[in-house]
Amino acid sequence: MMSQGISRKVFLRRAAAGGAMLTAPGLLRAGAAFGSTAAKLPKTIVFSNWPLYIDVKKKTHPSILQFQKAHPGTTVRYLEDINDNDQFFGKIEGPLSQGQSTGRDLIVLTDSSGLPQRMIQLGWVEKWDKSAMPHVKNLIPAQQHPAWDPHRDYSLPWQSIMAGIGYDPHKVGYELDSVDKLLTDPKLKGKVTLLTQLSDTIGLVMLANGDDPAHVTKKTWDAAVARIKKAVQSGQIRQFTGNDYAPLLAKGDVWAAFAWSGDLVQLQVDHPGLKWVAPKTGAIFSTDNMLIPKGGNAYAASVLADWFYIPKIAAEVEDYVNYICPVTGADKILLKSDPAVAKNPLIFPPASLLAKLHQFDANAINNQKYKQDFQHLIGA
């Protein structure tokens, strides 16, 4: 009875899909029909993500609602319970180390925290079910083969982030595209914050030193740490922060900061005077990755992750989130629906900006000695 009903629905949708494939709504319906997924999906899929990291409309998430509509009988329990990579990892590490489920099917962690790599090494993540992921082909080429997961067997980008300099031009009084000036200009003394994210802060300073953050050596590490230490001791650096530099920058307590591009795009809505720039010596690029923690439903998580690689869905998410979109074709859809977002270089970076982006050495991130040095540097 049940299977009859489902196959009839699938049949009708597939019949409709032929004519509708070229239109966006048609694409959604086609996605729903793909591979009779409704028959295999569980009742609930649990997805943990960062706050304000998905489209929101009247306290709902349209992209999730559309997924549920396209996969009747399945509900996505969307949790915004990740505020910090390390803290969240601390929360799930206990059950994972005991071979227990975390109660989640999909989570999002940043590669520059070193945690996705570490979880793969420890065998704490499930492989994607690629047979259920027809849209993953839309992943932008630059993101297809990271060194720590060369075939994207375990991870998929959710959004990418650029770390550079965020500042208030009115307070600073000049175009601040130099890490040198940020760390030494007496005018900025006590008005500068750096990030608690090791890869971003050390990476930006390494670039300013003329060193390669993708290949960290003891010499380049020590040089970067010494430079930051000098700035801390002189009182130039006010604080090391997560993304809580944003309200300080908006209030004027902080004039310049190592900052993430997406935060500034969101801040600019209320504070159009604020600016984000890639330093002339280069910016650091990192990616938040979807992962299936061990014990999660790999098939269900794969179907849900794939959903966000449909360009129309990716465009809807991007229109709200404003970080860097990993899905090819989302910009073309946004050109029609919201050209300002589609043309924003911080969301769809042009080649000139992409050329300035560097990734941080994945091995250095998990080096215990470096981590200790950095924690001592930031005061804890």
Residues of this chain, 347-376, that bind other proteins according to CB under 8 A: 368, 371-372, 375
Binding segment for other proteins (CB under 8 A), chosen from 1-9, 81-89, 102-110, 282-290, is 81-89
Residue 209 CB, nearest distance to other proteins (Å)? Answer: 21
- 51 contacts other proteins (rule: CB under 8 A): no
Residues of this chain, 216-235, that bind other proteins according to CB under 8 A: 232
Instruction: Determine the Cα–Cα distance for residues 374 and 366; give it in Å rounded to an integer.
Output: 12
* List 81, 93, 177, 212, residue binding other proteins (CB under 8 A): 93
* List 253, 268, 338, 353, residue binding other proteins (CB under 8 A): 253
Indicate the residue among 23 and 97 with the shorter CB distance to other proteins. 97
Residue 191 CB, nearest distance to other proteins (Å)? Answer: 8
291 alpha-carbon distance from chain centroid: 12
Residue in the block written with tokens 């360009």: 311
Indicate the residue among 108 and 232 with the shorter CB distance to other proteins. 232
* List 7, 44, 60, 87, residue binding other proteins (CB under 8 A): 87
Q: Which helix (H) or strand (E) holds 64?
A: helix 62-70
The amino acid that residue 335 corresponds to is L
Residue 246 CB, nearest distance to other proteins (Å)? Answer: 12
Residue 239 CB, nearest distance to other proteins (Å)? Answer: 5
Residue 274 CB, nearest distance to other proteins (Å)? Answer: 15
- 122 contacts other proteins (rule: CB under 8 A): yes
> SS3 helix, strand, coil % of the chain, rounded to 5?
50, 15, 35
Residues of this chain, 94-113, that bind other proteins according to CB under 8 A: 97
Q: Decide: 49 and 78 in contact? Cβ < 8 Å.
A: yes
The amino acid that residue 185 corresponds to is D
315: number of Cβ within 10 Å: 26
Residue 34 CB, nearest distance to other proteins (Å)? Answer: 38
- 160 contacts other proteins (rule: CB under 8 A): no
Residue in the block written with tokens 């795009």: 265
* List 25, 72, 252, 339, residue binding other proteins (CB under 8 A): 252
Residues of this chain, 164-193, that bind other proteins according to CB under 8 A: 189-190
* List 42, 51, 90, 339, residue binding other proteins (CB under 8 A): 90
Instruction: Determine the Cα–Cα distance for residues 339 and 34; give it in Å rounded to an integer.
Output: 31
Nearest 5°: phi and psi at 307?
Answer: -55, -40
- 81 contacts other proteins (rule: CB under 8 A): no
Handedness of CA 344, 358, 187, 190 (dihedral sign): positive
Instruction: Determine the Cα–Cα distance for residues 205 and 360; give it in Å rounded to an integer.
Output: 12
Q: Is 198 helix (H, G, I), strand (E, B) or coil?
A: helix
Residue in the block written with tokens 């990271």: 146
Nearest 5°: phi and psi at 163?
Answer: -105, 125
Nearest 5°: phi and psi at 56?
Answer: -130, 135
- The helices-and-strands tally (H runs, E runs) of the chain is 18, 11
Q: Would you call 19 exposed, middle or buried from its count of C-beta atoms within 10 A (0-12, 13-18, 19+)?
A: exposed
Residue 253 CB, nearest distance to other proteins (Å)? Answer: 5
Residue 251 CB, nearest distance to other proteins (Å)? Answer: 5
Using CB under 8 A as the binding criterion, the count of chain residues that bind other proteins stands at 28
Indicate the residue among 200 and 318 with the shorter CB distance to other proteins. 200
* List 160, 239, 266, 302, residue binding other proteins (CB under 8 A): 239
Indicate the residue among 3 and 368 with the shorter CB distance to other proteins. 368
Q: Decide: 238 and 255 in contact? Cβ < 8 Å.
A: no
Site of interaction with other proteins (CB under 8 A): 84, 86-87, 89-90, 93, 97, 122, 189-190, 232, 237-240, 244, 247, 251-253, 368, 371-372, 375, 377-380
